[in-house]
Structure 1
Amino acid sequence: MAELRNIDLNLLVIFQHLLEDRNISAVARRLNLSQPAVSNALRRLRSVLGDELFVRTTHGMQPTPHAERLGGPVGEALALLSHTLDARHDFRAEESPRRFRIAMSDVGEIYFMPRLIEHCARHAPGVRMDSLHLSGADLRREMDAGRIDLAIGAFEGLGSGVMQRMLFRQGYATLFRRGHPTAHEGMSLKAFRAERHLVVSHAAPHGQVNQSLEKAGVALDAHFSVPHFSAVPHIVSATDLLATVPQKLADSVAAHFELGLLAPPLRVPALQTNLYWHRRFHRDSGNQWLRAITVDIFADAP
């Protein structure tokens, strides 16, 4: 193992960005460095650590197994150091230029991001937020490394180091365009099955709605599908398809896209949406602020 005194901290910062971007030019732009400077830093790291670390492929600079193993600990160490240095002063939302990274699904972006952005515009004009689509082992690794400030949704297997709080529970609603010739509130299951449907195929953790549709006799492979929720209101507003989606998404898009809502004539388990953050940042004042505004804006009353 290389002695710590032989490693320049700046080299580890470049290593971390290479893990994220897999592209020397992108890292150079991100850090306001020249490409030769980033390439030289990579050469120095290779020499110190005794490994290629990144190999050029048609898909960019791919990390070696050794670089993958280093990624988590290095990211965690850099994040801890950054938060420690920032902790000299309490977080002041109205003055802070901090950028937060929040993991959420596409349906989460539609529901959460507009109101979070509006809150920042009013109360924290310098704060910025990035949303990311991560789940499973990828989300766990990024949270362990300190690269994700918050996750909002229904995630499992994040490990003992991640804390959580319930925001709300919700059911589902079926969207249809206003003027649809046959869709209406109170329609029977038989009539519902006879309609054409739009199915969200990659709906995790909302896959339970697809299971409920199948149990009710709606053959999913006989209908249209899209991989994500973001396209649903656009398609439903221009067709006679029905789409069964989370209630809060339906409420958010119905008026804007001139859509009607009906309670689907089938049983779908309620979906619970939680807030997740890493235990290491439980007392970080910026993270506390972000959690507090998310709860204040979105959480159901106790």
Structure 2
Amino acid sequence: MAGLRDVDLNLLLLFQHLLEDRNISSVARRLDLSQPAVSNALRRLRQAFGDELFVRTAQGMQPTPRAQRLAAPVSEALALLAGALQDQDAFAPAASTRRFRVAMTDVGEIHFMPRLIEVCAQVAPQARIDSVRMQGAELAREMEAGRVDLAIGAFDDMGAGVMQRMLFRQGYATLFRQAHPTAHAGMGLKAFRAERHLIVSRAAPYGQVNQSMERAGLDMAEHFSVPHFSAVPYIVSTTNLLATVPEKLAASAAPPFGLRFLTPPLKVPALQTNMYWQRRYDRDGGNLWLRGLIVDAFAVGR
């Protein structure tokens, strides 16, 4: 079994990069080393731990069970050390070329990404933000490994070591086209049930509105459906369908698509949107900057 004197810091950095990239050529480029040098360092790692650690497959260098057990403690130790060595104020947005990865849903992308892109262009023109679509155990693993910087939305099962801050709460609104013959603000439940609806079938974590519609007597099987929110305004603007969506989506989609919206005659719990990040990146300068940017742009009552 490896002791501290058997493994130098550079080998642990290589271990971390292999976990992230699963490709020796990619790791060599990141560390500015030759491929033979990376292969030699991997050999030393294997000798130190008495395990293959990474096995070459068609899907890249896949970690062994031993490497998977080492992943979290090694990643946490490196992050803590980096935080100790780096002044947290050293992150300079104007000069940074960092690429941040933020997990959000499709409705989150519609609400958050335009403003984030606009602010980045103003204060961090070389930085980039990539939205990624994942949740549950996969998201928890990616955040723990440092491959996802933040998550924004209403996520469950975030795992241990995750911190969070509430950004805002919102209700739901029902979209309809301006020339709709019967939909109107203040319509009652009986009239609402009689309309044709567009259901977002894979609305997690927003599925509570579908449950509320079922409880109100709508047979979901009788209505049209799409798997995601992004297509909703396009469809509603050219049909007589009603679509019940989060309030902020309705407010942003209504003007460009010529839509109106009403408060649905349903009892639906308010939807809370949070920002999540891994505890060990709490003091990371770039993570701190991005969290502050998001709070300034979106948090209510900050």
**TM-score, normalising length: structure 2:** 0.83
The residue number in structure 2 matching 1:72 is 72
The residue number in structure 1 matching 2:120 is 120
The residue number in structure 1 matching 2:300 is 300
SS in 2 for 1:79: helix
The residue number in structure 1 matching 2:280 is 280
Counterpart of 1:249, as a letter, is L
Counterpart of 1:175, as a letter, is L
Moved more, 285-294 or 31-40: 31-40
Distance 1:254 1:39, change over 3 A: farther
Measure the CA separation in 1 of the matches of 2:73 and 2:284: 20
The residue number in structure 2 matching 1:263 is 263
In the TM superposition, residue 169 of structure 1 has moved relative to its aligned partner by: 0.8
SS in 2 for 1:234: helix
Measure the CA separation in 1 of the matches of 2:285 and 2:18: 29
Q: Indicate if the aligned counterparts of 1:189 and 1:265 stay in contact, CA closer than 8 A.
A: yes
Q: How many correspondences in the alignment?
A: 302
Counterpart of 2:118, as a letter, is E
Work out the percentage of aligned pairs sharing the same amino acid: 70
The residue number in structure 2 matching 1:205 is 205
The residue number in structure 2 matching 1:233 is 233
Measure the CA separation in 1 of the matches of 2:230 and 2:30: 29
In the TM superposition, residue 55 of structure 1 has moved relative to its aligned partner by: 4.6
In the TM superposition, residue 17 of structure 1 has moved relative to its aligned partner by: 4.2
Deviation per CA, 1:219-263: give whole Å up to 9, x if none. Answer: 223323333222322333343332211000111122222222122
Measure the CA separation in 2 of the matches of 1:232 and 1:33: 49
**What are structure 1's unaligned runs of at least 5 residues?**
none
Moved more, 285-294 or 105-114: 285-294
Paired residues for 1:119-268 under 5 Å: 119-158=119-158, 161-268=161-268
Deviation per CA, 1:49-108: give whole Å up to 9, x if none. Answer: 343444555655543322322222232233334444442753332333333332222211
Counterpart of 2:200, as a letter, is V
SS in 2 for 1:256: helix
Q: Indicate if the aligned counterparts of 1:193 and 1:218 stay in contact, CA closer than 8 A.
A: yes
Measure the CA separation in 2 of the matches of 1:145 and 1:98: 17
Distance 1:24 1:281, change over 3 A: closer
Deviation per CA, 1:160-198: give whole Å up to 9, x if none. Answer: 633322211100011223333333323332232233322
Measure the CA separation in 2 of the matches of 1:28 and 1:178: 57
In the TM superposition, residue 3 of structure 1 has moved relative to its aligned partner by: 3.7
Q: Indicate if the aligned counterparts of 1:72 and 1:141 stay in contact, CA closer than 8 A.
A: no
Distance 1:2 1:249, change over 3 A: same
Paired residues for 1:88-107 under 5 Å: 90-107=90-107
SS in 1 for 2:256: coil
Counterpart of 1:268, as a letter, is V
SS in 2 for 1:174: strand
Distance 1:29 1:93, change over 3 A: closer
**What are structure 2's unaligned runs of at least 5 residues?**
none
Measure the CA separation in 2 of the matches of 1:257 and 1:84: 50
Distance 1:200 1:21, change over 3 A: farther
**TM-score, normalising length: structure 1:** 0.83
Q: Indicate if the aligned counterparts of 2:79 and 2:281 stay in contact, CA closer than 8 A.
A: no
Counterpart of 1:181, as a letter, is P
Distance 1:270 1:5, change over 3 A: same
Moved more, 67-76 or 9-18: 9-18
Distance 1:174 1:35, change over 3 A: farther
Moved more, 252-261 or 204-213: 252-261
